[in-house]
Amino acid sequence: MKILIVDDVEENRIILNQQLLPYGKCYLAANGVEALVCVKDALSTDTPFDLILLDVMMPIMDGLSTLQAIRSEEHVFGRVGNKESVIIMVTACSEAEVVSKAFFKGYCTDFLTKPIRRKSLVDKLKEYHLITESDRDDALLVSDVKVPHRTKDDIRLDFYNKLFGKLADVGIPAFNEAHKALLKMVVDIDEILWDAIEANLPPSDSEWHVMSEIFSDLVSYTKIHFSAELAYLYEHGYPMAGQHAERHGELVNELNEYNKKIVAMNPDSVRHIRRWLLEWLLNHVNQQDLDYSMFFSEQNRKSKI
């Protein structure tokens, strides 16, 4: 696959280049003018780009103008319809006006919101048939660069699947769904932390911002779930409800402390946050929550005797 990455921020170009190296040869452009030169050269030699990732906000020539110019050049060379390059606009915002202009005035293929996470990007590659399910993480594609992403990503996917598989069934459907929702938020944060640890770099400012938003939702959702859970335990006479409430309070305090570290963008906290997030939920659900599940199961058994 032949790929063009267009972004005026060097760090963004480097990150996208690293994410896409297993799937093809990447060309980099720092602005729309450079991108247009690359596109013209590719079209003139009948080697067009399969994929173009195009930043919306750029100096010299913005993303929308660049998009329209690229589509015009493709038209000149007779590359229309399914012969066009897949152009994905990359934006730091998701305003309807920006997206609407990109789709209906520039005829972009799709858009992604920054920070772009590897899974979201790979999903787009699959959606537009640029890669298949079987080779989604195969580093031996058209690129000659051999990067061990397949093994690492496969391990990560297996790890996340096992996490969900480890969640105990507490016997109350609403609580089971709440636990899955909480774990999904934890996994969303963990994916950012995993990439940062793997690259031996702290998360970018935008990634910290995304984590902060998710973590804030996690704190709020946890409090709501804990409140509903305790109300149920007290109402149904669970004898350890008081101890359960104490543990809930401790967990909320710990969540708030880690939330402060994320808001402060403390790079030294990355590994601690990741380990704690993965442990607290599984340990709480599979120990404290499983205790009340066993209690109610026994109560139900006795009532049937």
pLDDT at position 2 is: 96
Q: Please tell me the distance from the alpha carbon of residue 303 to that of residue 305, in angstroms, as a whole number.
A: 6
In this structure, which CATH number among 3.40.50.1100, 3.30.1550.10, 3.30.479.10, 1.20.120.50 belongs to the domain 149-303? 1.20.120.50
Tell me the mean pLDDT in the region 120-139: 73
Between residues 202 and 52, the one the model is more confident about: 52
pLDDT at position 64 is: 87
pLDDT band at 305 (very low <50, low <70, confident <90, very high): low
The winner for highest mean pLDDT among 31-45, 72-86, 110-124 is 31-45
Report the chain's mean pLDDT, rounded to a whole number: 80
Q: Is the pTM of this model over 0.75?
A: no
Q: Please tell me the distance from the alpha carbon of residue 263 to that of residue 289, in angstroms, as a whole number.
A: 30
Domain boundary assignment for the chain? 2-127, 149-303
Cα–Cα–Cα angle for 187, 188, 192, rounded to 5 degrees: 105
Other Cβ atoms less than 10 A from the Cβ of 191: the count is: 18
Q: Please tell me the distance from the alpha carbon of residue 188 to that of residue 203, in angstroms, as a whole number.
A: 14
Q: What is the pLDDT of residues 60-101, one digit of tens each?
A: 898 889 999 999 999 899 988 778 999 998 887 555 556 656
Backbone angles phi, psi at 162, to 5 degrees: -70, -35
In CATH, what is the architecture of 2-127? 3-Layer(aba) Sandwich (3.40)
Q: In this model, does residue 156 exceed pLDDT 70?
A: no
